[in-house]
Amino acid sequence: KVQLVESGGGSVEAGGSLRLSCSAPGYIYGDYCMGWFRQVPGKGREGVAAAWSGGGHTMYGDAVKGRATISQDNAKNTLHLQMTNLKPEDTAMYYCAIDTETRHCTLGFWREEQFIYWGQGTQVTVSP
């Protein structure tokens, strides 16, 4: 079982930036789809970004295009989500997730239900 641990959330003013991290202690064999999602109370999860760990196939949700960058540090088995020009509507719990069983993200889409392993989330709050 792969355990994911997010960090880097916090409170920031509109226009600010945050870098979220997601560590996966231990070794993950092979390549996988990695993703970031967010959720506000009373609503379903929203896809923020996804990519293939082997490189490429980077995708972003419409709400964050141009303001988000997904990346990874292979040596440290860590995923990152850099968010800039944050807006109050970016306030949410942010989750990282990986899919080690399918290559669905290489087909030009990503789906929440395809991701197998999830972190506990890190809260991002953006004030006006």
Tokens of 28: 């993950």
pLDDT at position 105 is 93
From 61, 57, 17, select the one nearest 36 (Cα to Cα).
61
The two structure tokens encoding residue 49 = 């970004």
Quickly tell me which residue has 């920031």 as its tokens. 12
Q: Is the pLDDT of residue 27 over 80?
A: no
Please count the CA atoms within 13 angstroms of the CA of 37 that sit on its side-chain side: 24
* Mean pLDDT, residues 83-93: 98
* Pairwise pLDDT comparison (103 vs 15), residue with the higher score: 15
Q: Which residues pair with 9 in a beta bridge?
A: none
**Reported confidence tier of residue 29, pLDDT bands at 50, 70, 90:** confident
Residue 1: band (very low, low, confident or very high) from pLDDT cuts 50, 70, 90: confident
The residue ranges of DSSP E strands in 1-128, in sequence order, are 5-7, 10-13, 18-23, 33-39, 46-52, 59-60, 68-73, 78-83, 92-99, 117-118, 122-127
